[in-house]
Amino acid sequence: MKQERNLSSPIAFLNGLTAEDIGNEHLSTSYDTPLRPDAFEQTDEQKMAQIEYHFRQIMEILGLDLTDDSLKGTPHRVAKMYVKEIFSGLNPENKPKVALFENKYKYNEMLVEKNITFYSNCEHHFVPIIGKAHVAYISKGKVIGLSKINRLVQYYAKRPQVQERLTNQIGNELMQALQTPDIAVLIEAQHLCVASRGIQDINSTTVTTFYSGRFEEENTRNEFLKYIA
């Protein structure tokens, strides 16, 4: 079962909801990733040391024996994973450098990069979102290397996310990077906060889309959907 979400005005649904409601309903309150102004005043090593300490406290509260060989290194591993891997997209220093090239091939048709696998994490419960992104653009005279599209998808996926925001962030970034309004993004993902807890529905996936420029035209959009079907 696929659940398709309307990205037009997520804020309109939030009136009167508590923070608990928003989290349980997997709703977004911001188009940008919510970050404090001092988010990058600490080094990665300082952040890892604090996360390691606090995660150790969590494990001890849960009653786990951290003297066990299997568990004693877990706080450090989790801290390193958070900062260096699964949430590395929070740090703008990790943003991929995108070099534009002249479209010497004079290829003015749609370019589609599909089935870009990504792993993200739900910002409401910090459990994985596993999905695929399909991206297309029509050149306005500039092109980028194909791997850069994958890297941009991964950069925005590697942070606490909601799927609607992730879709918009990828679409807006590609418009700026490629200097063209003609961008399409479709993401289909499984949310483990739905599959492994709460309703525990392991069969549903969520589909979100971003269309701009010529992709707002039905014929162009249908051509894109045909390619990724």
What is the Cα–Cα distance from 73 to 212, expressed in whole angstroms?
47
Indicate if the alpha-carbon torsion angle 158, 161, 166, 168 is positive or negative. negative
Measured CA to CA, the distance from residue 32 to residue 11 in angstroms comes to 13
| Three-state DSSP state, 227 | helix
1: its two tokens: 């079962």
Record the tokens describing residue 198, joined without a space: 């709460």
Which residues partner with 67 through β-bridges? Answer: none
| Count of C-beta atoms within a 10 Å radius of residue 112 | 15
**DSSP-assigned letters across all residues of 134-167:** EEEEE-SSEE--HHHHHHHHHHHHSSEE-HHHHH
Whether residue 136 contacts residue 113, with contact meaning beta carbons closer than 8 Å, is answered with yes
How far is residue 88's CA from residue 217's CA, in Å, rounded to a whole number?
A: 36
Q: Which residues are catalytic?
A: 122-125, 163, 191, 193
